[in-house]
Amino acid sequence: MRNSTKNLKKLVCSTAAVALMMGVSVAAQAEMVIGFSQIGSESGWRTSETASIKAEAQRRGIDLKFSDAQQKQENQIKAVRSFIAQGVDGILLAPVVETGWDQVLKEASRAGIPVVLVDRGVDADQSLYLTKVASDFVQEGSLAAAWLAAETNGVCDVVELQGTVGSSAANDRKKGFESVISNFPSLQIIRSQSGDFTRSGGKEVMESFLKAEDGGKDICAVYAHNDDMALGAVQAIKEAGLTPGQDLLVVSIDAVPDIFKAMAEGDTNATIELNPHLGGPAFDAINTAKKGGDVPKWIKANGPLYLPDTAAEEYKKRSSS
């Protein structure tokens, strides 16, 4: 064999060996298979959360099995069962409502598959899931109420746009708000109804509040459990001939780009940030548990309250990223 042919053979062999090694390491990274049962795409925040978790999985070489439940708990239960049957390494679950999870969580636990709750909580035995990566919704509601109490000197008739009935986000944001306003006898909720966390729901419910309250003249403020409903309410208020942000104060939760635009234009008055980047801590928790490490039962991801003074700047930052 000529020398040059020998050298070429050596090169091919060593390249193949490197490729094989690389292949092995890529496969080792991609070995982590995670199922993600998402609620749906009811709001701008939810869309960002989905995109962020998918991007984080891709960045880490995780094979993410994504399932959109279209707001139905039964679809989430089916998805979790299918993840269990596939033998995934872990499950992320964003539970649409708080109750009714015990059975399926027991099934995951029996299969030795860690479940991480992302964003919302469940009313179930804590031993049935690994951890919850979420903000404190009670605190968000309290913050909204404290801001409103200061802004109105504790005198205000509020209408409340609740999130999805039975969700921990709606239950706890209501609880937090009510616990603070209970200290202000002249600050009260005069009407409260679910707009299901959607823009159209917020608009529809706000229209009915305005009709019921003499065109809205006596409503002092809107407390919306998310920004999308607040934006729907803003539309309804304008169509009723009133000026949102002035005739009626508007406070909401999420801090999506569109609310900063509305705030910069004077249509709303305050928002509380809900962090959508929950994938990193959730995947870390599964990794830690797989290595036998301890994971706290609640990994908190709370955000601050934003006011109109920084809204234009925040909108610019968030809409370009």
Residues at the contact surface with ligand AHR, assessed by CB under 6 A: 42-43, 45-46, 119-120, 169, 197, 226, 228, 253-254, 274
Strand order in the sheet with 298-300: 63-68, 33-38, 90-93, 115-118, 131-134, 298-300
**DSSP letter, residue 131:** E
CB of 120 to ligand AHR, least distance (A): 5
Q: What is the DSSP string of 224-274?
A: ESSHHHHHHHHHHHHHTT--BTTTBEEEEEE--HHHHHHHHTTS--EEEEE
Nearer to ligand AHR, 32 or 69 (CB): 69
Pull the structure tokens for residue 78. 């089916």
Nearer to ligand AHR, 79 or 230 (CB): 230
| Reduced DSSP (H G I as helix, E B as strand, rest coil) percent helix, strand, coil of the chain, to 5 | 50, 20, 30
Tell me the one-letter amino acid at 264. Answer: A
Residue (46 or 174) nearer to ligand AHR, CB? 46
Least Cβ distance, residue 139 to ligand AHR (angstroms): 13
| Least separation in angstroms between CB 135 and ligand AHR | 8
Residue 88 or residue 198: which is nearer to ligand AHR going by CB? 198
d(CA 284, CA 295): 9
Please state the closest distance from residue 304 (CB atom) to ligand AHR, in A.
15
Are 133 and 299 spatial neighbours (Cβ–Cβ below 8 Å)? yes
Residue number with CB closer to ligand AHR (142 or 226):
226
The C-alpha R_g of the chain, in whole angstroms, comes to: 24
Closest distance of CB 252 from ligand AHR, Å: 9
CA distance 285 to 65: 18
Shorter beta-carbon distance to ligand AHR: residue 44 or 90: 44
In the bound complex, what is the minimum distance in angstroms from residue 86's beta carbon to ligand AHR? 26
